[in-house]
Amino acid sequence: MSWNFNDDRPIYVQLMEQIQLRILSGVYKIGDKLPSVRDMASDASVNPNTMQKALTELERTGLVFSQRTSGRFITEDSNMINDIRNNLAKEQIEKFLCSMQKIGYTKQETIKLIENISKEME
Amino acid sequence: MNNDENKILSDSTETITTSSSTNSRMDNNPILECKNLFKTYANSEALKGIDLTINRGRIVGLLGPNGSGKSTLIKLANGLLTPTSGEILIAGNKPGIETKKIVSYLPERTYLNDWMKVSDMINFFKDFYDNFNPDKAYEMLQKLNINPNDKLKTMSKGTKEKVQLILVMSREADLYLLDEPIAGVDPAARDYILNTIITNYNENATIIISTHLISDIERVLDDVVFISYGKIFLTKSVDEIRETEGKSVDTLFREVFRC
């Protein structure tokens, strides 16, 4: 998974989102220790201060936590991760339904279409 | 948009703290301070009253159109020029012998001798600066496929720039002043160099980079200083600009300084 940034939003916010995605998709696993700020900053080619800010903000949400001497870890609370995953899925589906509406499909038509296409793909 | 106080503060909650922050050498005075700084050349005013405070542990982009005073400011900080009036302080001291020990400067033009080999220059730097780390220099040379036995004379412009930047970044300094560091370097090496900068610098050190290649370096910067006609136009953090303006520093620069 590579890091991508767009131009119009703060970098630390984009880092937060992408770290979150890495956690949801299991690149970083539940309860695992995160790499050091420096290593993560280098991996994403960003300023270590910016990475630090992103991680501090993620700590505030509870998704990661730090242990004074041993570093920063991903939460062991699988319910929390599932909640975030569900919320993200909901957002994506809402967005998708909106775009389908724009090209003239009702919700029912869209759902039907999804069923048909997923059958074809099997 | 002009700030009354051009202060770039390092928010203590955001600064990275590691074991080295307990280093007794670390103090909290700003690394660079300008107070009503003026510099006049024979028939032109290069700097017209600069007030600027830059704290430790920041990577700062010094951005401005051609002739706005960027290099003049850097040369003043390095003691190559003296102020016409006002004051410039490095860690609380006027530029001089003491400050040169803690400032590592990359000039716009090369001052290295053409006939020298890279390894000669490394020895030269080692003799000259107590805080020069030759191992670091050799490691970077290897990564960028530069042969230490090559003479500067035989190198392309971009390679020469790389060598010079490697020498400057291999010093363990408190303040790095980089005047147009990556202009002649290809994009792949540029990425490597930027990565080297962010992974190697000590978290209490400050790096000031003057450049036109804003979009390339934007994401490694903490803060930017826009300078225009010898005055500070704006000082802000990159994320603050993106948050309040909804655009990148590069885009903002193009809008502000549209010709």
Yes or no, beta carbons of B220 and A56 under 8 Å apart:
no
Which parts of chain A fold into alpha helices (H)? Answer: 11-24, 37-44, 48-61, 78-102, 107-121
- Choose among A7, A10, A42: nearest Cβ to B243: A10
The whole-number pLDDT of residue A67 equals 87
Phi then psi for residue B251, to 5 deg, are -65, -45
For the segment A71-96, the average pLDDT, to the nearest whole number, is: 92
The whole-number pLDDT of residue B27 equals 55
Model confidence pLDDT, tens digit, residues A45-70: 899 999 999 999 999 999 999 988 88
The whole-number pLDDT of residue B195 equals 84
Yes or no, beta carbons of A50 and B239 under 8 Å apart:
yes
- Tell me which of A104 and B190 has the higher pLDDT: A104
Query: What is the distance between the alpha carbons of residues A91 and B231, in angstroms, rounded to a whole number?
Result: 46
For the segment A89-107, the average pLDDT, to the nearest whole number, is: 94
| Mean pLDDT score of chain A | 91
> What are the E-state strand segments in chain B?
7-8, 32-41, 44-54, 59-63, 85-90, 103-106, 175-179, 206-210, 223-228, 231-237
The B-side interface with A (CB below 8 A) comprises 13-16, 57-59, 191, 194-195, 198-199, 203, 219-222, 238-240, 242-243, 246-248, 250-251
The whole-number pLDDT of residue B8 equals 57
Selection from A100, A23, A36, A114 nearest residue A72 by Cα: A36
A90 touches chain B (CB under 8 A): no
Question: Could you tell me if residue B26 is left (phi over 0), alpha (psi between -120 and 50 degrees) or otherwise beta?
Answer: beta
DSSP SS3 for B109:
coil
- Choose among B14, B219, B243: nearest Cβ to A45: B219
pTM: 0.83
The whole-number pLDDT of residue B21 equals 38
A59 touches chain B (CB under 8 A): no
| Sheet hosting strand B103-106, strand order edge to edge | B103-106, B175-179, B206-210, B59-63, B223-228, B231-237
- Choose among B198, B203, B219: nearest Cβ to A42: B198
> CB of B209 within 8 A of CB of B222?
no
**Chain A: closest CA distance from residue B248 (Å):** 5
DSSP SS3 for A64:
strand
- Tell me which of A32 and A122 has the higher pLDDT: A32
Model confidence pLDDT, tens digit, residues B104-149: 999 988 778 889 999 999 999 999 999 999 999 999 999 889 999 9
Residue B88: Cβ-neighbour burial (10 angstroms; 0-12, 13-18, 19+)? buried
> Which of A50, A68, A72 has the highest number of chain B CBs within 10 A, making it the mutation to test binding with B?
A50
Model confidence pLDDT, tens digit, residues A82-91: 999 999 999 9
Selection from A48, A58, A45, A57 nearest residue B20 by Cα: A48
**Chain B: closest CA distance from residue A56 (Å):** 8
The whole-number pLDDT of residue B25 equals 44
DSSP secondary structure letter of residue B12: T
Query: What is the distance between the alpha carbons of residues A102 and A96, in angstroms, rounded to a whole number?
Result: 10
Residues pairing with B50 in the sheet? B37
A9 touches chain B (CB under 8 A): yes
A19 touches chain B (CB under 8 A): no
Ranges of residues in chain B with a pLDDT under 70 are 1-28
The whole-number pLDDT of residue B15 equals 43
Question: ∠ CA(B181), CA(B186), CA(B192), 5° rounding?
Answer: 70
**Chain B: closest CA distance from residue A33 (Å):** 17
**Chain B: closest CA distance from residue A94 (Å):** 24
* Segment holding B218, helix H or strand E: none
Question: Could you tell me if residue B29 is left (phi over 0), alpha (psi between -120 and 50 degrees) or otherwise beta?
Answer: beta
Yes or no, beta carbons of B220 and A45 under 8 Å apart:
yes
| Mean pLDDT score of chain B | 87
Residues of B in contact with A45 (CB under 8 A): 191, 194-195, 198, 219-220
